[in-house]
């Protein structure tokens, strides 16, 4: 019988995932632990560290009953029957594989700590996204650092939630994947124990079991396929602009093909988020390490097209505004990587803003959920680039002074020459564009990087509008 679960890592995955397990398994005590004191105190407060629709309600129902957040990592690992490891696995920034390989430092230190403190058998669940065959390494660390009395079973249980919809995704997942070693009795029992937890709310036919390596690789493949679809439709958007086709119409036609399905076909300024680029680079590195250069190059193209889409957008803004944005105020609406999240990791807004700042634009940024501090940190951080041919420089100190952040969309757009919509927040569809137009410099431009605005309405007001992948005459003729 599983009585206690410990989740190591209280981030975007660990927090919501462990909370939903607590909600659905009231007889199990769930402790979520983290090395970050500020994160844990935020989880214990009224202002949670991440914004996710529906999350507050779940936390309120379970916190203080069978869900707790703590920095006493060792105590809760010691007591747990099952340990979910939800720590971050970012791209390495230095050393061998820098810019591509996954940095497993956090995972390794969690594994060493588990080995140090455990005195009873444990099931260790890889919830983080990791390179294929990581379980083998983790097992070595656990076995070689423990006293020989404790038995470990390692399972791979990658998480498929999307930010902005994570509670819905966790409550009603299209699949739960459990990879384990079913060749021995201990492995079989561990798989059944984890399966039984999910079976409290997930129909059994949605719980897939595979071997460990298939589960680890499936997660990377899943994200690579999703990102590849976005790069495919974004590549089409460039061709649409060159030929007069309309990418929304092309997407609509593709979506009716039951062999293709309708999701991940929205052309955009580029995909962002902490997962897609990182996981593809991870895949690329694994391919290269296995001598599969052609396969590695195939996946690299997905990221190259994404970088191209962001720089193409910046170029369109600059060329449309008479080849210079120097000294012009440009309002940026939306900074998070997608709507309904405050997460800005790898948001396309960073590269677009840096590109515009490099051309000396003055940016006024508005996002309903992202703080000014976060925006300023993101714009002044120098990121290691995966491919030296696509350098985007961080904003210099002087550039950053050209950035203002507003808490009101009308303030942000006042006296602007142009507006760039970089996140598809619902509120951007319903704001008063006539009022905005009246307060802007003329000609007033709108660059819709998410294809969410009513172009005809904007054109009637008097805006010059550019939408991704839309017929050229739509904006030239205005």
Catalytic residues: 275
Q: Where do we find the tokens 């950035």?
A: 403
User: In the bound complex, what is the minimum distance in angstroms from residue 345's beta carbon to ligand UDX?
Assistant: 9
Binding test (CB under 6 A) with ligand NAD, winner from 274, 306, 336, 413: 274
Please tell me the distance from the alpha carbon of residue 276 to that of residue 347, in angstroms, as a whole number.
11
Give whichever of 21 and 321 is closer to ligand UDX, judged by the CB atom.
21
Instruction: Tell me, by CB under 6 A, how many residues bind ligand NAD.
Output: 27
Task: Scan residues 140-159 and list those touching ligand UDX (CB under 6 A).
Answer: 159
Choose the one of ligand UDX, ligand NAD, none that binds residue 106, judging by a C-beta under 5 to 8 angstroms depending on kind: ligand NAD
Helix, strand, coil shares, percent, the chain, to 5: 45, 15, 40
**Subset of 324-363 contacting ligand UDX (CB under 6 A):** 337-338
Classified as helix, coil or strand, 467 is strand
How many C-alpha atoms does 266 have within 13 Å on its Cβ side? Answer: 13
Judged by CB under 6 A, the residue of 20, 29, 86, 417 near ligand NAD is: 86
Q: Is 451 in the site for ligand UDX (CB under 6 A)?
A: no
Q: Which stretch binds ligand UDX (CB under 6 A): 266-274, 368-376, 409-417, 469-477?
A: 266-274
Q: Is the peptide bond before 262 cis (omega within 30 degrees of 0)?
A: no
Distance of CA 434 to the CA centre of its chain: 34
Per the CB < 8 A criterion, the answer to whether 306 and 337 are in contact is no
- Residue 266 contact partner, candidates ligand NAD, ligand UDX, none, CB within 5 to 8 A by sort of partner: ligand UDX
Binding residues among 8-27 for ligand UDX as defined by CB under 6 A: none
Roughly how many angstroms between the first and final C-alpha of the chain, as a whole number?
68
Q: Is 271 in the site for ligand UDX (CB under 6 A)?
A: yes
**Of the candidates 223, 231, 413, 467, which one interacts with ligand UDX according to CB under 6 A?**
223
Q: Is 95 left (phi over 0), alpha (psi -120 to 50) or beta?
A: left
Output 170 or 455, the one with its CB closest to ligand UDX: 170
Strand partners, 126: 85, 156
Binding-site annotation, residues for NAD(+)? 9-14, 34, 39, 87-91, 128-129, 163, 275-278, 345
305 lies in the binding site for ligand UDX (CB under 6 A): no
**Under rule CB under 6 A, residue 265 binds ligand UDX:** yes
What are the tokens at 27? 């007889």
Choose from ligand NAD, ligand UDX, none: what does 89 bind? Cβ within 5-8 Å by kind. ligand NAD
The residue to which tokens 């379980």 are assigned: 135
Give the three-class secondary structure for 373: helix
- DSSP codes, 59-71: HHHHBTTTEEEES
Map residues 6-25 to x or -, x wherever contact with ligand NAD holds by CB under 6 A: --xxxxxxx-----------
* DSSP code for 154: E
Query: Can residue 298 be called a binding residue for ligand UDX (CB under 6 A)?
Result: no
User: Quick check: 88 binds ligand NAD (CB under 6 A)?
Assistant: yes
d(CA 10, CA 45): 14
Q: Which does 128 bind (CB under 5 to 8 A by kind): ligand UDX, ligand NAD, none?
A: ligand NAD
Closest by alpha carbon to 91, among 77, 104, 78?
A: 104
d(CA 121, CA 126): 16
User: What's the closest the beta carbon of residue 47 comes to ligand UDX, in angstroms?
Assistant: 22
Query: Across the strands, what pairs with 155?
Result: 125
User: What's the CA dihedral at 322, 323, 326, 331 to 10 degrees?
Assistant: 70
Q: Are 219 and 129 in contact (CB under 8 A)?
A: yes
Q: Contact between 52 and ligand UDX (CB under 6 A)?
A: no
CB of 78 to ligand UDX, least distance (A): 30
Indicate whether 275 belongs to the interface with ligand UDX (CB under 6 A): yes
Q: Which parts of 45-84 interact with ligand NAD (CB under 6 A)? A: 73
- The residues that touch ligand NAD, with contacts defined as CB under 6 A, are 8-14, 33-36, 39, 73, 86-89, 106, 109-110, 128-129, 159, 161, 163, 274-275
């Amino acid at each position: 019988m599983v009585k206690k679960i410990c989740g190591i890592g209280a981030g975007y995955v660990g927090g919501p995932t462990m909370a939903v397990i607590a909600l659905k398994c009231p007889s199990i005590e769930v402790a979520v632990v983290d090395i970050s004191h500020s994160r844990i105190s935020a989880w214990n407060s009224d202002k949670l560290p991440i914004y996710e629709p529906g999350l507050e309600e779940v936390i309120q129902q379970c916190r203080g009953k069978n869900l707790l957040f703590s920095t006493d990592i060792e105590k809760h690992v010691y007591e747990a029957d099952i340990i979910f490891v939800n720590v971050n696995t970012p791209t390495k920034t230095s050393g061998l594989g820098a810019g591509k390989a996954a940095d497993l430092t956090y995972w390794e230190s969690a594994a060493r700590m588990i080995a140090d403190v455990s005195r009873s058998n444990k099931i260790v669940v890889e919830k983080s996204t990791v390179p294929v065959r990581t379980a083998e390494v983790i097992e070595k660390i656990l076995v070689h650092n423990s006293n020989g009395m404790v038995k470990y079973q390692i399972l791979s249980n990658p998480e498929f939630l999307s930010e902005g919809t994570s509670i819905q995704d966790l409550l009603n997942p299209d699949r739960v994947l459990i990879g384990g070693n079913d060749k021995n009795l201990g492995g079989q029992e561990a798989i059944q124990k984890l399966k039984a937890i999910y079976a409290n709310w997930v129909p059994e036919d949605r719980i897939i079991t595979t071997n460990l390596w298939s589960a680890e690789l499936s997660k990377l493949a899943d994200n690579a396929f999703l990102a590849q679809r976005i790069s495919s439709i974004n590549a089409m958007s460039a061709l649409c602009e060159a030929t007069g086709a309309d990418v929304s119409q092309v997407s609509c036609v593709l979506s009716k093909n039951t062999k293709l399905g309708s999701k991940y076909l929205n052309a955009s300024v580029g995909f962002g988020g902490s997962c897609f680029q990182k996981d593809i680079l991870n895949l690329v590195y694994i391919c290269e390490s296995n001598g599969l250069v052609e396969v590695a190059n195939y996946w690299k193209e997905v990221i190259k097209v994404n970088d191209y889409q962001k720089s193409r957008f910046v170029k369109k803004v600059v060329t449309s505004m008479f080849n210079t944005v120097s000294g012009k105020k440009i309002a940026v609406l939306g900074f998070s990587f997608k709507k309904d999240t405050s997460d800005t990791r790898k948001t396309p807004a960073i590269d677009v803003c840096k590109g515009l700042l490099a051309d000396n634009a003055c940016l006024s940024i508005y996002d309903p959920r992202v703080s000014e501090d976060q925006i300023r940190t993101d714009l002044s951080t120098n990121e290691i680039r995966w491919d030296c041919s696509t350098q985007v420089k961080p904003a210099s100190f002087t550039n950053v002074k050209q950035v203002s952040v507003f808490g009101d969309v009308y303030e942000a757009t006042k006296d602007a020459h142009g507006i760039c919509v970089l996140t598809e927040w619902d509120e951007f569809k319903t704001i008063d564009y006539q009022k905005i137009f009246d307060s802007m410099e003329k000609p007033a431009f709108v660059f819709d990087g998410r294809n969410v605005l009513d172009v005809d309405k904007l054109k009637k007001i008097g805006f010059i509008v550019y939408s991704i992948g839309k017929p050229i005459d739509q904006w030239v003729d205005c």
